[in-house]
Amino acid sequence: MQENVSDYVIRTGLQPCDVSPSEWDALLAEQDQPTPFMRHAYLQALHDSGSACADTGWQPAFVGLWRDNALVAACPLYLKDHSYGEYVFDWAWADAYQRHGLRYYPKALIAVPFTPVPGSRLLARDAESRRRLGANSLNCPRCTCSLPAKRI
């Protein structure tokens, strides 16, 4: 049976509260390297406490991929206007951009704030969902991730 691409809907610019905790955690449980720092409750606590929010430079723009109203892939994407609280050492890149008159920030970062623990960040039910999520997350414009749902 041929797959209909319109069966998939991607939503960007989401906050943790926009995604079902049980669906998120079910995806996490299926990953090769699940970590408690990717649990919905942990990510939501970072936001509720004010630790990871727009005011601290962590603008949530989570990405979710649904198929037939079921969450099949998701990732915690943040728009950042600095590199504090990350374990991505890109200060030299930011400096090089600035010296050449280019903007490095804002940048899109798929990560768990303040957490150097390795583990899955692109959560997906299967390889096809992971591919679709990755392709659409990487094509997301650097600073305009508050987009409506779109069929892919």
Domains of the chain by residue range: 5-151
**The 3-state secondary structure of the chain, one letter per residue:** CCCCHHHEEEEEEECHHHCCHHHHHHHHHCCCCCCHHHCHHHHHHHHHCCCCCHHHCEEECEEEEEECCEEEEEECEEEECCCCCCCCCCHHHHHHHHHCCCCCCCEEEECCCCCCCCCCCCEECCHHHHHHHHHHHHCCCCCCCCCCCEEC
Q: What is the pLDDT of residues 100-130, one digit of tens each?
A: 999 998 898 899 999 888 999 999 999 999 9
Q: What is the pLDDT of residue 139?
A: 56
Tell me the mean pLDDT in the region 8-23. 93
CATH class of the region 5-151: alpha beta
More confident residue, 87 or 110: 110
